[in-house]
Chain A
């Protein structure tokens, strides 16, 4: 049941793998809420965003099958994320050092 099978066009992810990812996502949610309640203030912004990024990575890799996709989709995702990062970086360098 848990074994993943391969195909030329598509890939089947076992229920067990998906459930494990779901448990990890719930654990990370509990962690981020705990951090927010126990470490108030602005200092944990980066920690919260790092946890969110980890959760997003799990969703993209497993639920959205990106881990099993070919080179084209992976590169496109990479380019999209780098473009977004450049927008954010340029905007902040403008806003913070104006």
Chain B
């Protein structure tokens, strides 16, 4: 029995979107927790939020938005058959992701250096609302960082396949879905940024 693989880009994209909806609900649940605890521990959240590093948050927002542009351009580039350009654009996207994670490392190092991490003696001695804020912060931002890591790896694999010619103008569902995943990572950060860095 011979198998003939038939490509179905529309179906592949539909499947990716259904997966992205589950991701939206995952992060939506975390944002919901944030909202509920903000209503309960308003003052503690405001005090803790003012200690966040706005510079890191803003820089990372700009980096992710730019990486999203490069990923979207890569999809356009493959449709117009510019393989070399696709590789440059994907390389730029992955590089932005790496810089984002490096910034995150610096930011977390600083916070952990000041005794701010889940279960630290400093937070245990403080008001309960403050430790709730930082637990949610580390959980949400950590989960997002994991998504950046996964997305970057995925796009690196996609770039390798573009280089080998497995992904080309006639069949680029992998690139399209990889880019969609990356945009979701950007989308989630667009909401994390105001909630943790700006509104408090």
**B132 adjacent to chain A (CB < 8 Å):** no
Tell me which residues across on chain A come within 8 A of B61, comparing CB atoms. Answer: 29
Check B76–A15 contact: CB distance below 8 A. yes
The verdict on A60 contacting B46 (CB below 8 Å), with A33-B58, A51-B194, A84-B28 known, is no
Scan residues 41-98 of chain A and give those whose CB is less than 8 A from a CB of chain B.
42, 44-45, 48-49, 51-52, 55-56, 59-60, 62-65, 72-73, 76-77, 80, 83-84, 87-88, 91-92, 95-96
Tell me which residues across on chain A come within 8 A of B190, comparing CB atoms. Answer: 52, 55-56, 59
**B157 adjacent to chain A (CB < 8 Å):** no
Tell me which residues across on chain B come within 8 A of A26, comparing CB atoms. Answer: 62, 65
The verdict on A63 contacting B71 (CB below 8 Å), with A45-B199, A56-B187 known, is yes
**Complex Cα gap A87–B76 (Å):** 36
Tell me which residues across on chain B come within 8 A of A87, comparing CB atoms. Answer: 28-29, 32
**B95 adjacent to chain A (CB < 8 Å):** no
Measured CB to CB, the closest approach of chain B to A36, in angstroms, equals 4
What is the size, in residues, of chain B's interface with A at 8 Å between Cβ atoms? 48
- Name the one of A12, A19, A33, A91 contacting B36, with C-beta atoms under 8 angstroms: A91
Instruction: Write the B79-105 contact mask toward A (1 if CB under 8 angstroms, else 0).
Output: 110000000000000000000000000
**B42 adjacent to chain A (CB < 8 Å):** yes
Measured CB to CB, the closest approach of chain B to A83, in angstroms, equals 8
**B168 adjacent to chain A (CB < 8 Å):** no
Check B17–A76 contact: CB distance below 8 A. yes
Q: State the majority secondary structure of interface residues on B.
A: helix
Check A48–B194 contact: CB distance below 8 A. yes
Check B199–A36 contact: CB distance below 8 A. yes
**Complex Cα gap A95–B42 (Å):** 14
**Complex Cα gap A96–B37 (Å):** 11
Tell me which residues across on chain B come within 8 A of A65, comparing CB atoms. Answer: 75
Residue ranges of B at the interface with A (Cβ–Cβ < 8 Å):
9-10, 13-14, 17-18, 21, 24-25, 28-29, 32, 35-36, 39-40, 42, 46, 54, 58, 61-62, 65-66, 68-69, 71-73, 75-76, 79-80, 176, 179-180, 183-184, 186-187, 190-191, 193-194, 197-200
Given A48-B198, A63-B69, 5 extra CB contacts under 8 A: A22-B69, A35-B198, A49-B194, A84-B25, A91-B32
25 intermolecular pairs with C-beta atoms under 8 Å apart: A9-B9, A12-B76, A12-B79, A13-B72, A14-B76, A15-B76, A18-B72, A29-B62, A42-B42, A48-B194, A48-B199, A49-B199, A56-B187, A59-B187, A59-B190, A60-B183, A63-B68, A63-B183, A64-B183, A72-B14, A76-B17, A76-B21, A77-B17, A77-B21, A84-B25
